[in-house]
Amino acid sequence: MQKNMLKLFFALLLFIGTTASAETTVGVKGGVTFPFLSIDDTSYNSWDKRSGFAIGPSVKMQLPVKGLAVDISGLYGQYTIIDEITHDIDGGRNFTTNIKLEEIRIPLNLRYERQLSKDWGLYLFAGPQVNFNIGAKTYVLDYCTWRSRNAVMSLNFGAGLMALKHCQLSVGYNLACGSTGEVWLVSGQYEKLMGKIKTNSMDISLGYYF
């Protein structure tokens, strides 16, 4: 499913490149990421999700339909997950997890913009996003082994405020399409898949278009 969604994502890029109007603006955006982590196996709990950040260039293109536009960004993002986990093996044992996740995020959003005045406006956005893992793929931590996916598809949706023709402030939610990784129980030669990881996030970002 993830591979099919990746193909669809790049097909959308090609379609937008051929339909967008000449009105294209380039900018930069960055912000704060608040991850929400869930794992199938409830014996892994109390994860401390540290907020992260994302920053990078962005391009906005107007579509032939009034009020519609698309934006695509290339963002470097990272966040850290720290926890002390107890698992019921050998009478129970605690170990500390410190995982730094780094990725290139490419969100492609369709926007509906509504001007409130000459200098102010609102917009809604939604669209797919692909994240490419550029950090460590595997973390081996005592009994626990964390394995991240190389690429993950997700969906964005949210709203924003446009100000002074150049600035924008947005709040969005990113919903992962399927698992973003796996947690394995490791003891000597014994390995068992304990659960699949799913990471959603809320993003608050500020952008400036030249």
Per-block average pLDDT, block size 10, for the chain (210 residues)? 55 56 83 87 59 92 88 92 56 63 93 93 95 88 78 94 93 93 78 85 95
What pLDDT does 181 receive?
87
CB contact at 8 A, 183 and 39: yes
The closest alpha carbon to 152, from 112, 92, 105, 109, belongs to: 105
pLDDT at res. 76: 96
pLDDT at site 190: 75
pLDDT value of residue 130: 92
Model pLDDT, residue 170: 97
Question: For residue 203, what pLDDT is reported?
Answer: 95
**pLDDT for res 19:** 55
CA distance 187 to 190: 5
Task: Answer positive or negative: Cα dihedral of 189, 185, 85, 174.
Answer: positive
pTM of the model: 0.82
Q: Measured between alpha carbons, how far is 210 from 77 in angstroms, rounded to an integer?
A: 22
Return phi, psi of residue 136, to 5°: -65, 135
Q: Are 54 and 31 in contact (CB under 8 A)?
A: yes
